[in-house]
């Protein structure tokens, strides 16, 4: 398309990458969204004083309180949501020898 505009499409809000220390984790669930769907758990993560929600089929997370974490998230009216499969431990290259 000429001019760099998109006809009839909303422009997506860019994803934000967050890095910080995981201070607290709480879990809710299981929830069943619809028949035949696996159970979902909602994890509430506090990272550097900010609250984020992460929804997954897993009861346990790949990170624990005290870890330095990294993830992508989006902010909505309902809060800050971590993108599925983006949560992990942040690796500091200076710690490797």
Q: Tell me which residue of 52, 38, 59 sits closest to 86, measured CA to CA.
A: 52
Say how many C-beta atoms besides its own lie within 10 A of residue 60's C-beta: 11
> Which tens digit of pLDDT belongs to each residue from 41-96?
999 999 999 999 999 999 999 999 999 999 999 998 989 999 999 999 998 888 76
> Which tens digit of pLDDT belongs to each residue from 6-23?
556 666 667 899 999 999
pLDDT at 1: 47
Question: DSSP per residue over 4-64, as a string?
Answer: G--TT-PPPPPPEEEEEEEEEEEEEEEE-SSTTPPPEEEEEEEETTEEEEEEES-SS-S--
Q: Tokens representing 46?
A: 């506090």
Q: Tokens representing 84?
A: 């599925």
pLDDT at 69: 97
| Region for residue 82 given its phi and psi (left: phi exceeds 0; alpha: psi -120 to 50; beta: otherwise) | beta
Q: Tokens representing 22?
A: 């995981």
pLDDT at 5: 54
């Amino acid at each position: 398309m000429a001019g760099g505009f998109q006809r009839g499409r909303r422009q997506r809000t860019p994803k934000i990458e967050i890095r910080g220390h995981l201070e607290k984790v709480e879990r809710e669930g299981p929830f069943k969204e619809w028949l035949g769907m696996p159970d979902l758990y909602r994890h509430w993560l506090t990272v550097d004083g900010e609250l984020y929600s992460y929804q997954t089929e897993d009861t346990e997370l790949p990170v624990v309180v005290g870890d330095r974490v990294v993830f992508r998230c989006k902010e909505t009216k309902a809060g800050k949501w971590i993108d599925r499969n983006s949560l992990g431990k942040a690796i500091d290259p200076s710690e490797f020898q």
